[in-house]
């Protein structure tokens, strides 16, 4: 890694007051000897404990390379990551959780892999995951297999927040809802899947606080996956998706009406047949799908032409008067 390279470490935190001090210290220990300049961005995602105060203390203690982005309320991990990425100034961006389960000591090796193999994303793989089997590991494995099959980006661990990106790529990706677990799929829309790799990383048991996730996230993953599938296949051509639905429904409706027409010519009463109402409904739905296709195409063009708004709101940014960098 050449000395001119700059790294931004983005860490979203929510109610992690007991982890902040150790987190910042570990990041400094892991990156203090790295041959690059770096900064740390702590994004307080609307914590209602002393997380923000502890983060500001770390900012004052360590220097101008530590900054705190304070959000008005809890917008969720995805929005917090997006806020940190938007305020990152580095050529490379590393993301990680703030609960001390990710190990920042893995970041230098991930950067080395990304640079040496000319990649755009290196994702962490918690190969020896320190979580419960039934509530965390098993649902995660099922979700990872399903996500890989649908998106075509084969990774063992989509849910690991520890990742290293080229800033020029990840800044083209806008994250909404709870899409942080699908970041590799979104990145694959901007670059080739062959420029995305993963590597085993260390994973520690949670030391403080409680996990913010439960079984309910499995259902959210399935819903988000459907959205990802749609965007991966039809983001720039949503009219094709709804148009195909309209064509299929219309074809079924027309075939049913032709069948009924033949029966009518044979003297059969078709007015009270359920098939008649079904055929009419299919034709009406077909017209609606074609209308939706036109509207979707118009909205798609609006989306691509105006992507300047953000889905989070910042209360304040705590940083010294002169933002600085740490290291070479």
Sorting pLDDT into bands at 50, 70 and 90, what band is 83? very high
Residue 31: which residues within 8 A CB-CB, separation 6 or more?
Answer: 7, 9, 38, 104, 107, 108, 326, 327
Say if CB 104 and CB 27 are below 8 A apart: yes
Number of domains in the chain: 2
Same-domain status, 83 and 116: yes
Same-domain status, 224 and 133: yes
| pLDDT score for 24 | 96
State the chain's mean pLDDT as an integer: 84
Output helix, strand, coil percentages for the chain, rounded to the nearest 5.
50, 15, 35
Same-domain status, 43 and 140: yes
- Residue 279's domain comprises 238-305
298: tokens are 């118009």
120 domain residue, yes or no: yes
Query: pTM to 2 decimals?
Result: 0.74
* Residue 296: C-alpha distances to residues 7, 120, 186, 281 (Å): 39, 31, 20, 22
Instruction: Indicate if the pLDDT at residue 39 is higher than 90.
Output: yes
222 domain residue, yes or no: yes
Instruction: Indicate if the pLDDT at residue 212 is higher than 60.
Output: no
Sorting pLDDT into bands at 50, 70 and 90, what band is 311? low
Angle in degrees, 0-180, between the axes of helices 274-305 and 238-265, rounded to the nearest 10: 160
| pLDDT score for 310 | 62
Same-domain status, 161 and 268: no
| pLDDT score for 249 | 93
Same-domain status, 164 and 219: yes
310 domain residue, yes or no: no
257 domain residue, yes or no: yes
**CA 204, chain centre distance (Å):** 22
| pLDDT score for 62 | 92
196 domain residue, yes or no: yes
Same-domain status, 200 and 261: no
319 domain residue, yes or no: no
1 domain residue, yes or no: no
Same-domain status, 60 and 116: yes
Q: pLDDT tens digits for 245-304? A: 899 999 999 999 999 999 888 888 887 788 989 999 999 999 998 888 888 777 766 765
Q: pLDDT tens digits for 119-159? A: 999 999 988 776 655 556 666 677 777 777 777 777 888 88
- The CATH number of whichever domain residue 103 belongs to comes to 3.90.550.10
* Residue 24: C-alpha distances to residues 20, 34, 173, 215 (Å): 6, 16, 27, 30
189 domain residue, yes or no: yes
Same-domain status, 221 and 246: no
Same-domain status, 255 and 133: no
Instruction: Indicate if the pLDDT at residue 1 is higher than 60.
Output: no
CB atoms within 10 A of CB 84: 23
């Amino acid at each position: 890694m050449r000395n001119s390279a700059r790294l931004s470490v983005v860490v979203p935190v929510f109610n992690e007051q007991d982890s902040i001090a150790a987190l910042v210290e570990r990041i400094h220990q892991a990156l203090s000897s790295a041959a690059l300049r770096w900064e740390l961005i702590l994004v307080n995602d609307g914590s209602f404990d002393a997380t923000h105060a502890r983060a500001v203390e770390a900012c004052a203690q360590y220097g101008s390379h530590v900054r705190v982005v304070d959000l008005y309320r809890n917008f969720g991990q995805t929005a917090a990551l997006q806020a940190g990425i938007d305020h990152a100034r580095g050529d490379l961006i590393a993301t990680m959780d703030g609960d001390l389960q990710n190990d920042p000591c893995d970041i230098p090796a991930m950067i080395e892999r990304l640079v040496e193999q000319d990649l755009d994303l290196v994702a962490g793989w918690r190969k020896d995951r320190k979580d419960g089997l039934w509530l965390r590991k098993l649902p995660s494995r099922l979700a990872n297999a399903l996500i890989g099959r649908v998106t075509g980006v084969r990774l063992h661990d989509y849910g690991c927040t520890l990742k290293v990106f080229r800033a020029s790529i990840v800044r083209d990706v806008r994250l909404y809802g709870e899409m942080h677990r699908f970041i590799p799929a979104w990145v694959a829309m901007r670059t080739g899947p062959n420029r995305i790799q993963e590597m085993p990383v260390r994973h520690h048991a949670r030391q403080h606080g409680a996990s913010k996730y439960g079984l309910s996230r499995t259902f959210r993953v399935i819903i988000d996956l459907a959205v990802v599938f749609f965007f991966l296949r039809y983001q720039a051509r949503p009219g094709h998706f709804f148009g195909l639905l309209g064509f299929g429904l219309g074809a079924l409706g027309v075939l049913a009406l032709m069948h009924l027409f033949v029966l009518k010519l044979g003297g059969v009463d078709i007015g009270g047949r359920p098939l008649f109402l079904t055929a009419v409904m299919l034709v009406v739905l077909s017209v609606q799908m074609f209308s939706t296709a036109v509207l979707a195409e118009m909205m798609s063009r609006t989306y691509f032409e105006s992507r300047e708004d953000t889905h989070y709101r910042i209360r304040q940014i705590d940083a010294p008067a002169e933002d600085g960098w740490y290291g070479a």
